[in-house]
């Protein structure tokens, strides 16, 4: 095997190395400037409660499905995009079937009568707040969420409309990433919502009044 | 050539320092003082086939009982002489969702009676064979941090110089509830404290007080005896 000196080959190698270097440098600069996206992922246990003898329709609005919270720096730049819509749908799809005899996901609340449901449940996120350790000076990531829950009759008439809040926090780990901390705090908040919602649903005054004749 | 030999010698020296530091760190532990208090309210005992579950209190805004401490106590109770079956915390909390979440967990033993009125909860408790619920509440705080250590690396080698110290204080309380009688049967508290030092003359030598580990082992041993009726 003989190796020969080839100036053309060396200059092509140099060009390629320079291109790779520039590409890497560009990637580093871009990643330093852009906001990080956190798509919340978690698993939620099914509640151990007696299901209500009701067929519930559930409508997930586009606002819930595509919910993204933007955390900004003090200078007003986007720092983190917290995408929790998908995880919220997963949460409600786990919790609701354990709470009601039957649950039907509706693509349009106007289809409720046609699908023979007793009521339509429409959850929405009103507010989402994030507490970052560098801003709160606490050793924890925190998530607060304010929800608006609506229960309507199949024809769209009012049954109940109430507010629920959820809170979750997770400790800051020495070698943990901020993205991981935000995800864990969001999952804890959603778990808090699931526990509170599944236990307190029948205690909401308007829901209780509506349920009473149906449970007798 | 001479430069290469010099840097090799420096590397070897640095490696040796590191080895010495690691060995010293592993073999030297600073002193820890642990105090255990027990308050018994009822008779205890555990039969074959029965288990216990250890849960951390996480209602407080200021602190949360660490999951690793809860796991440490559970692991220690589940091995050695007179080992007790301990249901892992997360498995139990998930299986009994939503009744043992921070917002919904029973705070008093009287609440347990109300909770056990739920047929699904009773079924799960029976499935796990849970006889006692142990609620752990507490934390470890680090205070009195003092001193500083500076390190430098050069072509001929590297080294550190300085002195650092801090104090760790662990304070944990275990409340034991008897699931069969829905009553509180006792409380055990563990307080441990210790000072850690890191002197550094070329090599930092950590003399770490294993405060939380000592609180864990002392509390677990006492809990094991308590549950067995000793």
| Residue A49 in contact with partner chain B when CB distance is under 8 A | yes
Domain boundaries along the sequence of chain A: 35-215
pLDDT value of position A3 = 44
User: In this predicted model, what pLDDT tens digit does every residue of B124-142 receive, in sequence order?
Assistant: 999 999 999 999 999 999 9
Mean pLDDT calculated for residue range A8-32: 60
A50: Cβ contacts below 8 Å, ≥ 6 apart: B118, B119, B120
pLDDT digits over A28-52, tens only? 544 555 789 999 999 999 999 999 9
pLDDT (mean) for A170-195: 91
**pLDDT for the residue B91:** 96
Tokens in use for B222?
């006492």
Give the model confidence (pLDDT) of B21-56 as tens digits: 555 554 456 789 999 999 999 999 999 999 999 999
Measure B46 CA to nearest chain A CA, in Å: 27
Three-state DSSP at B146 gives strand
Sign of the Cα pseudo-torsion (A95, A98, A104, A110, in order): negative
Mean pLDDT calculated for residue range A155-181: 91
Dist CA B223 CA B71 (whole Å): 14
Rounded to two decimals, the ipTM of the complex is 0.79
Tokens coding A125: 């996120």
**Mean pLDDT along residues A60-74:** 95
Is the confidence at residue A5, as pLDDT, over 90? no
Residues of B in contact with A196 (CB under 8 A): 98, 103-104
DSSP strand pairing (B51-56 vs A158-171): unpaired
> Per the CB < 8 Å rule, is B98 touching A171?
no
Chain A residues whose CB is inside 8 A of the B103 CB are: 192, 195-196
CB-nearest to A199 from B64, B104, B124 is B104
Q: State mean pLDDT over A184-199.
A: 96
Write down the domain spans for chain B: 2-227
Query: pLDDT value at position A105?
Result: 97
A window 183-202, beta carbon within 8 A of B: 191-192, 194-196, 198-199
- Dihedral (Cα; A8, A9, A11, A16), 10-degree rounding: 140
Test the A interface: residue of B60, B91, B92, B98 with most A CBs within 10 Å: B98
Q: Compute the distance between CA of residue B216 and CA of residue B213 in angstroms, rounded to an integer.
A: 5
Evaluate if residue A21 carries a pLDDT over 70.
Answer: no
Decide if pLDDT at A14 tops 90: no
Give pLDDT < 70 ranges for chain B. 1-29, 230
- The answer to whether the CB atoms of B118 and A48 lie below 8 A apart is yes
| CA–CA distance, B77 with A125 (Å, rounded to integer) | 44
Q: What is the pLDDT of residues A113-143, one digit of tens each?
A: 999 999 999 999 999 999 999 888 888 899 9
Pairing label, strands A100-106, A52-59: parallel
**pLDDT above 60 (res A27):** no
Average pLDDT, chain A: 88
Measured CB to CB, residues of chain B less than 8 Å from chain A are 64, 94-99, 101-104, 118-121, 124
CB nearest B97 (choices: A45, A50, A169): A45
> Which has the closest alpha carbon to B65: B218, B209, B150, B174?
B174
Mean pLDDT score, A78-82: 93
Q: Which token pair is B202?
A: 């070329």
What residues of chain A lie within 8 A of the CB of B104, using their CB?
195-196, 199
Q: Tell me which of 3.30.160.150, 2.130.10.30, 3.30.470.20, 3.40.228.10 is the CATH number of domain A35-215.
A: 3.30.160.150
How many other C-beta atoms lie within 10 A of the C-beta of residue A164? 18
Would you call A45 and B118 a contact, using CB atoms and an 8 Å cutoff?
no
């Amino acid at each position: 095997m003989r190796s020969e000196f080839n100036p053309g080959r060396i200059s092509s190698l140099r060009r390629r190395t320079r291109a790779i270097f520039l590409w890497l440098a560009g990637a580093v600069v871009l990643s330093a400037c852009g906001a990080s996206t956190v798509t919340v992922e978690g698993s939620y246990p099914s509640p151990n409660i007696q299901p209500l003898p009701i067929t519930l329709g559930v409508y997930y609005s586009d606002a819930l499905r595509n919910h993204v919270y933007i955390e900004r720096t003090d200078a007003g730049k986007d720092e983190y995009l917290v995408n929790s819509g998908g995880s919220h749908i997963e949460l409600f799809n786990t919790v609701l079937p354990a709470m009601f005899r039957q649950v039907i996901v509706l693509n349009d609340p106007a289809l409720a009568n046609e699908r023979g449901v007793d009521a339509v449940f429409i959850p929405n996120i009103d507010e989402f707040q994030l507490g970052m350790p560098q801003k709160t000076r606490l050793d924890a990531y925190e998530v607060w969420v304010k929800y608006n829950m609506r229960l309507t009759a199949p024809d769209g008439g009012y049954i109940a409309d109430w507010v629920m809040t959820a809170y979750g926090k997770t400790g800051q780990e020495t070698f943990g990433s901020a993205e991981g901390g935000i995800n864990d705090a969001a999952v804890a908040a959603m778990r808090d919502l699931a526990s509170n919602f599944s236990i307190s649903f029948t205690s909401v005054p308007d829901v209780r009044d509506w349920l009473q004749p149906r449970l007798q | 050539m001479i430069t290469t030999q010099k840097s090799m010698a420096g590397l070897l020296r640095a490696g040796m320092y590191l080895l010495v530091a690691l060995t010293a760190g592993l073999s030297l532990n600073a002193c820890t003082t642990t105090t255990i208090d027990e308050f018994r309210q009822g008779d205890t005992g555990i039969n074959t086939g029965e288990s216990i579950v250890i849960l951390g209190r996480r209602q407080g805004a200021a602190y949360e009982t660490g999951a690793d401490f809860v796991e440490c106590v559970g692991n220690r109770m589940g091995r050695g002489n007179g080992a007790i079956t301990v249901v892992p915390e997360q498995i139990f909390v998930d299986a009994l969702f939503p009744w043992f979440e921070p917002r919904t967990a029973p705070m008093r033993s009287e609440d347990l009676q109300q909770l056990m009125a739920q047929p699904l909860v009773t079924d799960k408790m029976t499935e796990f064979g849970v006889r006692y619920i142990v609620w752990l509440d507490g934390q470890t705080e680090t205070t009195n941090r003092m001193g500083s250590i500076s390190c430098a690396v050069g072509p001929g080698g590297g080294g550190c110089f300085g002195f650092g110290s801090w104090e760790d204080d662990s304070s944990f309380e275990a409340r034991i509830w008897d699931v069969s009688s829905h009553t509180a049967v006792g409380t055990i508290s563990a307080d441990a404290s210790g000072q850690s030092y890191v002197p550094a003359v070329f090599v930092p030598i950590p003399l770490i007080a294993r405060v939380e580990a000592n609180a864990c082992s002392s509390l677990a041993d006492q809990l094991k005896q308590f549950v067995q009726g000793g």
